[in-house]
């Protein structure tokens, strides 16, 4: 009898637990604001890594621009600065050291985000358990964490990009002052910066995936335990 | 007229495995609860009250046995249906209040309504009204940390009533409150259960709870020791208190 009873229930209730997007967004924003310090800690490594990434990418773009504008005249300086020149395709690329540092910093940053998010989830065990007692579905919890991470990514990586770009432009003014830089096109530089930005947002989301799944899978009964 | 049993507990056992040794906490509990009843579960610490509470409320699964809520076996429910059950059918009240610390009283009360798909302004209206009903009309914008224990428990009661549940489960709702405040909370629970015909099951150490209960279930070491009706209680209440009260700090 319970089986048929359950089947009778099923179509009626399958879509009845909801959290509208607007409300999810509002909750995520207020959660980030209230835990501002924790949010800062979470994005700290992201800001640094994306600043470095954006700095390196923008620098390379500036180098390319210089080569485009001044051709072989600029080459000695660029090669001295560590860039690789591929004569076959006539392109300037970042040196292996820079590439290696970029990859390394992104790795460290991802580990940093995962670590900070795990701590943040642990701090919120009780809160998540309460939401589950009130009927929250796994995917509602998951979504809240993903939205928070996306917002953190947009801001953290955004700040990182700004810092990186400023540093790269400042450096270019100092290092390449013997050349006429007024013709440098902005677009390729901004394209590199937005690549770094997108990468940062992606990493922020990637870093929260495991902690968020952990949070979503929490059992509501944990609210009964004293230790959280 | 046949009484309608909103909850039926049939042969529920629960074992926890601590390391290699399984600990049998519930050893076969059978219990029927009538709609609108105020039921108290009494018993010494560690007798399994909270464990039974969690199982009846769908927060935990029994090792064996079944729990029927409105004749639906809740062990057969999938994640969505369980969430629906927690959202609509049951309101929980805990010893430690368990409000969400970063949300205001009103936000805490409206959250279950939002989950239930109620439009925001309706939820706010209803939340304000519920907070008024529990005597917190003015303090809806305060965070839990800015409220006293008794006030927090009032918010929790308002939240438990948010989606007009059929059942309220309360695990030691007065456990963290002083005697007077505890008495007020008990009176409030009783008032709510009368007005709304909500079934209340409350695990408790608090003897003040007995006088408002329709029935008291005494649990001892994972089994039901005895079930007493209110009338029988009145007679034995004096001796109960004599027997138990001195042992309490
Ligand atoms: N998750 C768990 N893992 C292992 N043992 C548990 C778990 N939860 C409860 N127990 C054990 O089950 C027994 C009953 O616990 P329960 O919390 O149900 O008691 P209680 O009657 O509510 O006690 P109290 O009045 O102190 O709240 C205790 O011995 C406890 O140690
Ligand atoms: Mg208990």
Q: What is the DSSP string of B137-189?
A: TT-TT--GGGS-HHHHHHHHHHHHTTT--SEEEEESTTTTS-HHHHHHHHHHH
Residue nearest atom 9 of ligand 1, based on CA coordinates: B51
Which residues in chain A are contacts of B80 at CB distance < 8 A?
13-14, 17, 137
CA dihedral in degrees (B94, B97, B100, B104; nearest 10)? 140
Per-residue pLDDT, B237: 56
Query: What is the Rg, in whole angstroms, of the alpha carbon atoms belonging to chain A?
Result: 24
In the reported structure, the alpha carbon of residue B205 is separated from the centroid of ligand 2 by a whole-number distance in angstroms of 9
* First-last CA distance in chain B: 45
Domain annotation for chain B: domains and CATH numbers: 5-247 (3.40.50.300)
Per-residue pLDDT, B3: 72
In the predicted model, is pLDDT for residue A96 greater than 70?
yes
State ipTM: 0.90
Joined tokens for residue B106: 């009103």
**What phi and psi values does residue B186 have, to the nearest 5 degrees?**
-65, -45
The answer to whether B41 touches B219, Cβ cutoff 8 Å, is yes
Q: Which residue of A has its CA nearest to B104?
A: A30
Instruction: Output DSSP code: residue B52.
Output: H
The C-alpha atoms of residue B138 and residue B141 are separated, in whole angstroms, by 8
A37-57: pLDDT as tens digits: 999 999 999 999 999 999 999
Please tell me which residue, A131 or A5, carries the higher pLDDT value. A131
Lowest mean pLDDT among A80-84, A110-114, A178-182: A178-182
Per-residue pLDDT, A12: 52
> Residue A164 to residues A139, A161, A170, B84: CA-CA distances in angstroms?
36, 5, 10, 49
Per-residue pLDDT, A17: 86
Print burial letters for B225-240: b (CB count within 10 Å at least 16), e (below 16). eeebebeebeeebeeb
> Residue B245 to residues A174, B208, B209, B237, B240: CA-CA distances in angstroms?
83, 11, 14, 11, 8
SS3 A124: coil
The answer to whether A98 touches A82, Cβ cutoff 8 Å, is yes
Joined tokens for residue A4: 């048929």
B199-204 vs B167-171, strand pairing mode: parallel
Element (H, E) at B93: strand B90-93
B29-86: pLDDT as tens digits: 999 999 999 999 999 999 999 999 999 999 999 999 999 999 999 999 999 999 999 9
Q: Is the CB of B23 under 6 A from ligand 1?
A: yes
Q: Which residue has the tokens 């394209």?
A: A191
The C-alpha atoms of residue B207 and residue B184 are separated, in whole angstroms, by 14
Residue B180 burial class via C-beta count within 10 angstroms: exposed 0-12, middle 13-18, buried 19 and up: exposed
If one counts every other C-beta atom within 10 angstroms of the C-beta of residue A122, the result is 12
The C-alpha atoms of residue A214 and residue A204 are separated, in whole angstroms, by 16
State the average pLDDT for chain A.
90
| A4 in B contact zone (CB under 8 Å) | no
The answer to whether B212 touches B188, Cβ cutoff 8 Å, is no
CA angle B182, B216, B28 (to 5 degrees): 120
- Across the interface, whether the CB atoms of A135 and B102 are under 8 A apart is answered no
In the predicted model, is pLDDT for residue A221 greater than 80?
yes
Q: Which residue of A has its CA nearest to B87?
A: A135
In the predicted model, is pLDDT for residue A9 greater than 60?
no
Per-residue pLDDT, B210: 87
Print burial letters for A166-193: b (CB count within 10 Å at least 16), e (below 16). ebbbeebeebbeebebeebeeebbeebb
Joined tokens for residue A97: 């050291």
Q: Which segments of chain B have a pLDDT < 70?
A: 1-2, 234-249
Per-residue pLDDT, B247: 45
- The ligand 1 atom at the shortest distance from the C-alpha of residue B18 is 4
- By Cβ distance, the residue of A6, A9, A224 closest to B50 is A224
Per-residue pLDDT, B133: 94
In the reported structure, the alpha carbon of residue B172 is separated from the centroid of ligand 2 by a whole-number distance in angstroms of 7
The C-alpha atoms of residue B43 and residue B220 are separated, in whole angstroms, by 6
- By Cβ distance, the residue of B73, B76, B115 closest to A135 is B115
* pTM of the full structure: 0.89
């Amino acid at each position: 009898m319970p089986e048929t009873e359950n089947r009778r229930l099923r179509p009626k209730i399958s879509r009845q637990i909801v959290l509208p997007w607007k409300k999810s967004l509002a909750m995520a924003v207020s959660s980030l604001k209230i835990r501002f310090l924790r949010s800062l800690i979470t994005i700290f490594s992201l800001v640094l890594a994306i600043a470095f990434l954006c700095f390196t990418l923008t620098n390379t773009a500036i180098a390319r621009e210089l080569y485009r504008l001044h051709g072989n005249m600029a080459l000695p300086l660029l090669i001295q600065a560590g860039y690789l020149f591929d004569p076959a395709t006539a392109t300037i690329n970042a040196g292996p050291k820079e590439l290696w540092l970029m990859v390394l910093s992104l790795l460290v940053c991802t580990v940093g985000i995962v670590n900070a998010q795990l701590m943040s989830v642990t701090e919120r065990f009780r809160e998540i358990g309460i939401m589950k007692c009130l009927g929250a579905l796994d995917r509602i919890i998951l979504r809240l964490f993903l939205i928070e991470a996306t917002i953190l990514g947009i801001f953290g990586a955004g700040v990182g990009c700004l810092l990186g770009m400023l540093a790269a432009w400042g450096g270019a003014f100092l290092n390449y002052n013997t050349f006429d830089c007024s013709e440098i096109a902005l677009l390729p530089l901004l394209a590199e910066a937005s690549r770094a930005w997108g990468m940062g947002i992606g990493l922020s989301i990637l870093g929260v995936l495991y902690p968020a799944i952990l949070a979503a899978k929490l059992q509501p009964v944990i609210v009964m335990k004293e230790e959280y | 007229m046949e009484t309608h049993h909103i909850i039926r507990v049939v042969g529920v056992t629960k074992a926890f495995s601590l390391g290699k040794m399984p600990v049998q906490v519930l050893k076969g509990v059978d219990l029927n609860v009538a709609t609108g009843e105020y039921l108290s579960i009494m018993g010494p610490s560690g007798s399994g009250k909270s464990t039974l509470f969690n199982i009846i409320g769908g927060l935990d699964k029994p090792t064996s046995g079944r729990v029927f809520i409105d004749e639906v076996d809740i062990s057969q429910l999938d994640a969505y249906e369980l969430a629906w059950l927690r959202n609509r059918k049951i309101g929980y009240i805990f010893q430690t209040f368990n409000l969400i610390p970063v949300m205001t009283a009103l936000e805490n009360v409206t959250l279950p309504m939002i989950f239930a798909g109620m439009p925001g302004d309706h939820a706010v209206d209803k939340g304000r009204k519920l907070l008024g009903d529990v005597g917190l009309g003015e303090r809806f914008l305060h965070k839990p940390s800015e409220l006293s224990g008794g006030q927090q428990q009032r918010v929790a009661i308002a939240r438990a009533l948010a989606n007009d549940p059929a059942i309220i489960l309360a695990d030691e709702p007065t456990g963290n409150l002083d005697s007077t405040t505890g008495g007020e909370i008990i009176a409030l629970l009783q008032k709510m259960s009368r007005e709304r015909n909500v079934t209340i099951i409350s695990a408790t150490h608090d003897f003040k709870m007995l006088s408002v209960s329709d029935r008291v279930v005494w649990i001892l070491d994972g089994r039901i020791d005895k079930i007493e009706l209110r009338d029988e209680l009145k007679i034995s209440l004096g001796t109960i208190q004599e027997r138990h009260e001195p042992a309490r700090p």
